[in-house]
Amino acid sequence: IRGMGPRVLLVRMGRLSYADALGLQERWLRRLQAARGPGAEAGALLLGEPAGPAYTAGLRGGLEPGEEARLRALGADVRRTGRGGLATFHGPGQLLAHPVLDLRPLGLRLRTHVAALEACAVGLCRRLGLPAALARPPPYTGVWLGDRKICAIGVRCGRHITSHGLAMNCSTDLTWFEHIVPCGLVGMGVTSLTEELQRRVTVEEATDPFLEAFEEAFQCTLTLHHEDSD
CA 93 to chain centre: 13
Which residues line the annotated binding site?
Answer: 83-90, 152-154, 165-167
- Distance (Å, whole) CA 62 – CA 67: 10
Q: Strand locations in 66-173, DSSP E?
A: 77-80, 88-90, 94-101, 134-136, 142-145, 148-158, 161-169
- Say if CB 152 and CB 97 are below 8 A apart: no
Is 168 buried (19+), middle (13-18) or exposed (0-12) by CB count in 10 A?
buried
- Distance (Å, whole) CA 187 – CA 117: 25
HSE at residue 37, side-chain half, CA atoms within 13 A, is 3
User: Within 10 A of 20 (CB to CB), how many other CB atoms are there?
Assistant: 14
Which residues line the annotated binding site for substrate?
Answer: 83-90, 152-154, 165-167
- Distance (Å, whole) CA 177 – CA 38: 44
What residues are labeled active site?
183
